[in-house]
Structure 1
Amino acid sequence: MVVPALTGSEARAALLRLLAERAYRRGSFTLASGRTSEHYVNCKPVSLSGQGLALLGASMLELVEPGAAAVAGLTLGADPLVSAVALQAALAGRDLDALIVRKEAKGHGTGAWLEGPLPPAGSRITVLEDVVTTGGSALKAVNQLREAGYVVEQVVAIVDRQEGGAEAMQAAGLGLRSLFLLEEVSAAQAELAG
């Protein structure tokens, strides 16, 4: 499917529909945090599709801090996101690289935690995340980036599940900007099932 050039509101509506169709499920689920929930959001069927990448890259780029030298995120959920945002930035003439934060240090070679073209220490980096529940994954990425000498003050997510992640970010001195709240995705899925 060819993705036509969409306006901001059209792109937002198309992305919400994709999330409702492909990412959201209602039932009984155990989340990564160990909590149980009747809502499950797995953004990978959207973030790993061509149409989803085009929409996510453009939408998330709009929320990245103007002074950021790079976007970064914890592997695996953020891998397609950082790539899509960096590509959209390049297409728009903006210099913005992508970094991937490993879940543990590389076991060989340099033992690196970070992969990608590393900007100079002190550079501003925006962290990207697919779904924020408690904020644990994003905070792990933030901590590794801060330890490497980068300034991280903002996390951009596709979906905020509204279960304490924003508060955890605030406690760590971070702002959380999300494309959608869980209630929006859930309502869109209910409307489609209608």
Structure 2
Amino acid sequence: MTTSPATDALAQDFVRFAVDAGVLRFGEFKTKAGRLSPYFFNAGLFDDGAKLGRLAEFYARRLLASGIEFDMLFGPAYKGITLAAAVAIELARLGRNVPFAYNRKEAKDHGEGGTLVGAPVAGRVLIIDDVISAGTSVRESISMIQAAGATPCGVAIALDRQEKAAEKGVDMPWSAVQYVQQELGLKVAAIATLSDLLQYLNPTAAPGLTTHYQAVAAYRERYGI
């Protein structure tokens, strides 16, 4: 997705917000791929009403600017459940009222039953998640959406790490986001990317963050896509 100065500003505001909220942290963190990352993004730490509401605002603004056409939202369990609900509320506040649904990890055998909860899954369905690590969650969501007779049309995430995917310990020549775009055929709208994080950490703009900039830049040099 091509960004304009306005969307770049949105990304910078989001990175600043994530750092201030303690959701985006710096140090040494082991990723699912076994890499030692100099930063860690944990959307589960948007853990109060004010932070969640602000996060939903960023998602909604990015979605409305993305050009992706969708009829409803789908939140994969577990983090996606809260995200889809919050984004649906914010979209309605902005004048775009759409239904949302989510899945259970285990099928319910009483009451309404099944694994899907919320609005009937129909039309063009946009998946809401925090990040795309390996595309597994997206593939599972696609299967559930298609099984319901609907069409997955895109994915909205908070942060695109822009790094090589790893399969069985081997680095791939594509990122998880590129895999979703090219192999699964879905558009991806990210509020911010690793490039936006590096811009935020740039020593000329934030000299106090030079050490973090160098560490993140070195990580991208090694694993970036």
Tell me the equivalent position of 1:82.
Answer: 84
Tell me the equivalent position of 2:14.
Answer: 15
**Code of the aligned partner of 1:80:** T
Give unpaired runs (5+ residues) of structure 1.
Answer: 1-6
Cα distance per residue 1:76-96 (max 9 Å; x no partner)? 222232122211222233230
Q: Is the 8 A contact 1:154 1:174 kept in 2?
A: yes
Within the candidate set 159, 174, 191, 2:186 is matched to 174
Root-mean-square deviation (Å): 2.8
**Match runs of 1:25-174 below 5 Å:** 25-31=25-31, 33-38=32-37, 39-46=39-46, 48-54=48-54, 55-62=57-64, 63=66, 65-66=68-69, 68-106=70-108, 108-119=110-121, 121=122, 123-163=123-163, 164-169=175-180, 170-174=182-186
The alignment of Structure 1 onto Structure 2 pairs a total of residues equal to 184
State, as a whole percentage, how many aligned pairs show the same letter: 23
Shift in Å, 1:35: 3.0
Shift in Å, 1:51: 4.0
**Code of the aligned partner of 2:137:** S
**Code of the aligned partner of 2:185:** G
* Cα 1:81/1:70, change in 2 over 3 Å: same
- For 1:136 and 1:192, the matched residues in 2 are separated by 38
**Code of the aligned partner of 1:91:** R
Shift in Å, 1:140: 1.9
